[in-house]
């Protein structure tokens, strides 16, 4: 694999460039920022990177494991009740003032807004401190923070071209795709992909934890020994484990999956929510998916994401608001159809790979480096392994088979700090 060549820095000593990534809260917001930050460090080794967030454990753990500085500033989401507005205003004003001090004292050159309420105070402070502002937006429908900050942003990086019409932006708009972590480019042959993976996002999805095990029980004879891995979030691990045991199904139930590239490389079919970052990783790994968008997502953005992938032929969409009758039965019927139709699964997988933007992190990093004023050397991008053919004529009725190789297991249970030991 050819790695990107590092740039020769035009900065030295205390004047070295400093980039702040603001936001996070969920993996969908945080991981694209980490992917870009790692590319920045690779391209410009003396760049200084700081992440600013709300102090959630996910942020602290992953930013620390990546070796970047982390700062907690006051911030609060827009309240749903009017009597909460005074506290909201006080908290975010304090965050804005603290962000201005941070940016000035540390001579920050570029602020990258990752989305989420924690990005708003720092993004707003960027313009007061003469720092460039870049926004990352992973969804078809932009979030509230992105819509608000786009008016003063120097550049906005979008996952989907359709998002541009929903933003009022004075700076440049770039359709880069969603930056993803490295490692999704090594493809496991489809015949060896034995896993059925259930994803509810970094925080889990309580309704999926109830529905999916019951749906799998309905089609248990079609699973044919394939491995089931279910990410639940931390709150409902034991309840979901008990449900699988009660139904007589063997499943690895985990609160969070650390090594997602390795996990997806062995996954033959996924049941998932439809956050932008999750879809980008599923597409990069070429995993055929059944998407159940979160019905209460802000501005229904998960459904819009899923509809775009469905209309392109990259997934099967089930919206629980449109289902007459039991949702677990509808999901079971959909999964049965896919499990018994391997050519269709491979067509969907081929379309998913065509929707991937594997160089998004590199492209966003290059944009940031341009704003820093560094010279641009030729970029040597990774050579991506060719995807398998779209359709196979061999009969295959399940995720497993006698010719399949058992994938390595349990390594995805490690927490980031354990990986460095």
Q: What are the tens digits of pLDDT across the range 240-297?
A: 999 999 999 999 999 989 899 999 988 999 999 999 999 999 999 999 999 999 988 8
Which comes out higher in pLDDT, residue 183 or 353?
Answer: 353
Residue 400 has pLDDT above 60, yes or no: no
Q: Which strands make up the sheet holding 227-231, listed edge to edge?
A: 252-254, 227-231, 195-199, 267-272, 289-291, 316-317
Paired sense of beta strands 252-254 and 227-231, if any: parallel
Mean pLDDT, range 141-155, rounded to an integer: 93
Residue 373 has pLDDT above 60, yes or no: yes
In which residue are the tokens 């009758």 written?
325
Mean pLDDT, range 303-329, rounded to an integer: 93
Which comes out higher in pLDDT, residue 410 or 54?
Answer: 54
Which comes out higher in pLDDT, residue 227 or 392?
Answer: 227
Q: Tell me, what's the pLDDT at 10?
A: 46
Q: Is residue 196 very low, low, confident or very high in pLDDT (cuts 50, 70, 90)? A: very high
Q: Is residue 74 very low, low, confident or very high in pLDDT (cuts 50, 70, 90)? A: confident
Residue 82 has pLDDT above 60, yes or no: yes
Q: Tell me, what's the pLDDT at 53?
A: 92
In which residue are the tokens 């089930």 written?
318
Lowest-pLDDT range of 5-9, 272-276, 297-301, 323-327 = 5-9
Q: Is residue 415 very low, low, confident or very high in pLDDT (cuts 50, 70, 90)? A: very low
| Domains of the chain listed by start with CATH number | 13-180+359-372 (3.40.50.2000), 190-355+391-419 (3.40.50.2000)
Q: Is residue 188 very low, low, confident or very high in pLDDT (cuts 50, 70, 90)? A: low
Mean pLDDT, range 208-227, rounded to an integer: 92
Q: Tell me, what's the pLDDT at 227?
A: 92
Q: What is the mean pLDDT of the chain?
A: 84
In which residue are the tokens 């970029």 written?
379
Give dist(CA 23, CA 43) in Å, integer: 23
Q: What percent of the chain has pLDDT over 70?
A: 82
Q: Tell me, what's the pLDDT at 337?
A: 95
Q: What is the pTM of this model?
A: 0.84
Give dist(CA 41, CA 67) in Å, integer: 11
Work out the number of other CB atoms within 10 angstroms of the CB of residue 13. 6
State whether the Cα torsion 198-204-209-211 is positive or negative: negative
Mean pLDDT, range 97-117, rounded to an integer: 94
Q: How many residues does the chain have?
A: 421
Lowest-pLDDT range of 78-87, 149-158, 312-321 = 78-87
Residues 6+ apart with CB under 8 A from 81: none
Q: Tell me, what's the pLDDT at 187?
A: 61
Residue 388 has pLDDT above 60, yes or no: no
Burial of residue 407 (CB within 10 Å: 0-12, 13-18, 19+) is middle
Q: Which strands make up the sheet holding 155-158, listed edge to edge?
A: 69-72, 48-53, 18-22, 110-113, 132-137, 155-158, 172-175
Give dist(CA 288, CA 272) in Å, integer: 10
Q: Is residue 410 very low, low, confident or very high in pLDDT (cuts 50, 70, 90)? A: very low
Helices marked H in 251-290: 260-265, 276-285
Q: Is residue 386 very low, low, confident or very high in pLDDT (cuts 50, 70, 90)? A: very low
Give dist(CA 285, CA 260) in Å, integer: 10
Instruction: Collect contacts of 232-235 with beta carbons under 8 A, ≥24 apart.
Output: 232/200, 232/204, 233/200, 233/201, 233/202, 233/203, 233/204, 233/205, 233/206, 233/209, 234/204, 235/204, 235/206
Give dist(CA 128, CA 145) in Å, integer: 17
> Which DSSP category does 170 fall into?
S
Q: Tell me, what's the pLDDT at 203?
A: 63
């Amino acid at each position: 694999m050819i790695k990107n060549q590092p740039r020769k820095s035009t900065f030295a000593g205390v004047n070295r460039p400093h980039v702040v990534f603001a936001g996070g809260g969920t993996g969908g917001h945080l991981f694209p920022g980490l992917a870009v930050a790692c590319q920045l460090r690779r391209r410009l080794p003396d760049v200084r990177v700081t992440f600013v967030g709300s102090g959630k454990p996910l942020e602290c753990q992953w930013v620390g494991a990546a070796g970047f500085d982390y700062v907690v500033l006051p911030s609060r989401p827009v309240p749903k009740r009017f009597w909460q507005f005074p506290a909201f205003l006080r908290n975010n004003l304090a965050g804005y003032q603290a962000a201005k001090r941070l940016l000035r004292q540390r001579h920050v050159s570029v602020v990258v807004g990752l989305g989420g309420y924690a990005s708003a105070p720092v993004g707003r402070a960027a313009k007061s401190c003469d720092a460039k502002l870049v926004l990352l937006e992973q969804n078809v429908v932009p979030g509230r923070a992105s819509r608000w900050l786009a008016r003063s942003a120097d550049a906005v990086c979008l996952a989907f071209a359709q998002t541009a019409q929903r933003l009022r932006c004075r700076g440049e708009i770039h359709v880069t795709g969603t930056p993803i972590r490295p490692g999704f480019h090594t493809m496991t042959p489809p015949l060896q992909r034995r896993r059925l993976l259930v994803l509810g996002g970094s925080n889990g999805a309580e309704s999926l934890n109830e529905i999916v095990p019951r749906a799998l029980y309905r089609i248990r004879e079609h699973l044919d020994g394939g491995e089931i891995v279910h990410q639940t979030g931390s709150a409902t691990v034991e309840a979901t484990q008990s449900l699988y045991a009660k139904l007589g199904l063997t499943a690895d139930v985990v609160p969070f999956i650390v090594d997602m590239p390795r996990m997806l490389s062995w996954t033959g079919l996924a049941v998932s929510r439809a956050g932008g970052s999750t879809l980008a990783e599923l597409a990069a790994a070429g995993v055929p998916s059944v998407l159940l968008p979160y019905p209460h997502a802000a501005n229904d953005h998960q459904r819009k994401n899923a509809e775009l992938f469905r209309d392109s032929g990259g997934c099967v969409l089930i919206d629980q608001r449109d289902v007459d009758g039991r949702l677990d039965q509808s999901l079971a019927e959909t999964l049965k159809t896919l499990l018994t139709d391997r050519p269709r699964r491979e067509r969907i997988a081929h379309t998913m790979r065509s929707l991937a933007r594997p160089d998004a992190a590199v492209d966003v990093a290059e944009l940031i480096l341009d704003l820093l004023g560094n010279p641009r050397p030729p970029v040597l991008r990774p050579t991506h392994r060719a995807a398998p053919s779209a359709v196979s004529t061999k009969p295959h009725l399940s995720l497993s088979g006698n010719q399949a190789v058992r994938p390595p297991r349990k390594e995805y249970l490690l927490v980031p700090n354990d990986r460095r030991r």
